[in-house]
Structure 1
Amino acid sequence: MDSLNLNKHISGQFNAELEHIRTQVMTMGGMVEQQLTDAIVAMHNQDAELANKVIEGDQKVNMMEVEIDEACVRIIAKRQPAASDLRLVMAIIKTISELERIGDVAEKISRTALEKFSQQHQPLLVSLESLGHHTIQMLHDVLDAFARMDLNAAIEIYREDRKVDQEYEGIVRQLMTYMMEDPRTIPSVLTALFCARAIERIGDRCQNICEIIFYFIKGHDFRHVGGDQLDKLLAGDGNGSNPA
């Protein structure tokens, strides 16, 4: 826990419990990142074996969320944490929820690869690899920022979602052109749109984790705040210090 600059506690066991659940979050994050990577590869390569592996792996992600959540509840009940300790526990509970939902996206993409592509027998009309790699990098970076509770890194990752949105909008325009030029492409367009939208939403989930990092460091709720207002709130006292 030293990397988070948290207070040491009289109870060494309390420190161990906090460190353990933080480690579990990073393990879960690594699993979800791999799930997402495999799902995007399976989608583009129409790899049924890899898609099935992702679908089966989703249950492990779900069980890990339950395990971490229960550990957090036990800490709250047993230790009655306050201030930064309580914020850390709440940040973990919120983060694993976001990670679980990203895992669900990976599963849905894999099911689409199995069901839709097997029926249409053709590749995607557009490549989603760039969009997929962009969101995977966002997820990797935000997990690293969470591990270090790095405010500056979280701010940069939060802003990166604008580029993901722009990339997604370009894909939508391209798909709409295909559909207008040849109505027979509508089923394929809808499949590609579903996958593109699912991947784009991962960027939003990463933004949510950034907001959780802001909450831990600043002690304020930054949800549903954006643009210049967010910049002003994050500037706050100007030093990004961690309140008690």
Structure 2
Amino acid sequence: MQRSHINTKYDEELILLKQKILRMGEMVENNVVSAITSVMYRDPNLAQTIIDSDHQINELEVDTEEMCLRVIALRQPAGRDLRFISTAMKIITTLERMGDLATNIASRALEMIEEPRSGVCFHLPIMAEATEDLVHRSLEAFVNEDIDLALGVCRDDTYVNETYKKVIEELLKLMGEKSILIPRAMKIMFVAKYLERIADHAVHMSEMVVFMVAGKIIRHQEKTLDYLDKEFHKDPHATSAASPLKEKRV
């Protein structure tokens, strides 16, 4: 935010508000990455740490929401400031939900501790890496108020969805061939679903960034490359594709 007001206290409040959101975003991103790691490497201590730390994210959400309401009541923001604060209130809710999903993944990791790491699903690590990437870029888009980066997240969600379908197809085939692996495959399905929802939340955040910066509402739209190109005059091919992982299974 490169804006200034006659009341410098107001500027300080907006800066502090953004800092709180960034802190919450860093905590959530760390928990998402750690939750995935706890599944891949069967790390019970890491999984439990994520579960135990979730209350800190919840408390920060409440604290930040209360600050948003105070700023609205005392400063009566308008224009871009109002968009920023209204977006902030939605983003912290989205981040809290992402934190809950990271906790869900960690809980599944605890259930899988006794199972071997040699694995049954090739596509889950690929999906996990792509999801981590969307989360990181959505936060970067907010930090830098970067519409291009936000739109890139919206575009690249398709890759996560396609990989999710491959995970499910792979696991269904496995369960049909080896019934003994059904319980394990079901747990991996839950993890994949949580990842898919986290990616959706990253997209939601990015849509909010577009609104915050440009005042354009793009949610509930068909976010095709043609649509985004028409709305924002961007190169529809200028998107960073998620890079595939090296071969490993869970």
TM-score (norm 1): 0.89
1:126 aligns with 121
- C-alpha deviation, 1:235, in angstroms: 4.2
Q: Residue 34 in 1 paired to residue 48 in 2?
A: no
Matched residue type, 2:132: I
Aligned equivalent of 1:196: 192
State the match for 1:51 in structure 2: 47
How many Å apart are 1:194 and its aligned residue?
0.5
Deviation at 1:112? 1.1
**Residue by residue, what CA displacement relative to the aligned partner does 1:166-201 show, whole Å, maximum 9, x if unpaired?**
111111111111011122322112111110111111
Identity %: 32
* Inter-partner Cα distance in structure 2 for 1:46 and 1:164: 23
Matched, 1:104 2:109: no
Q: RMSD of the alignment, in Å? A: 1.7
Determine the structure 2 residue equivalent to 1:117: 112
Find the partner of 1:78 among 74, 79, 103. Answer: 74
| Stretches of 4+ aligned residues off by more than 4 angstroms | none
Bigger fraction of residues in helix: 1
Does structure 1 residue 180 correspond to structure 2 residue 176? yes
Matching residue within 88, 94, 100 for 2:84: 88
Q: Report the TM-score, using the length of structure 2 for normalisation.
A: 0.87
> Which amino acid is 2:61 matched to?
E
SS in 1 for 2:200: helix
Q: Indicate whether 1:210 and 2:202 are aligned.
A: no
How much has 1:140 moved relative to structure 2?
1.1
Report the CA distance between 1:231 and its aligned residue.
4.1
Gaps of 5+ in 1: 237-244
Aligned to 1:144: 140
Say whether the 8 Å CA contact 1:214–1:234 is kept in structure 2: no
1:83-135 deviation per Cα after TM superposition (whole angstroms, max 9, x unaligned) = 11100001111111111111111100111111x314x6344521522221211
Task: Find the aligned partners of 1:234 and 1:66 in 2 and give their Cα distance.
Answer: 34
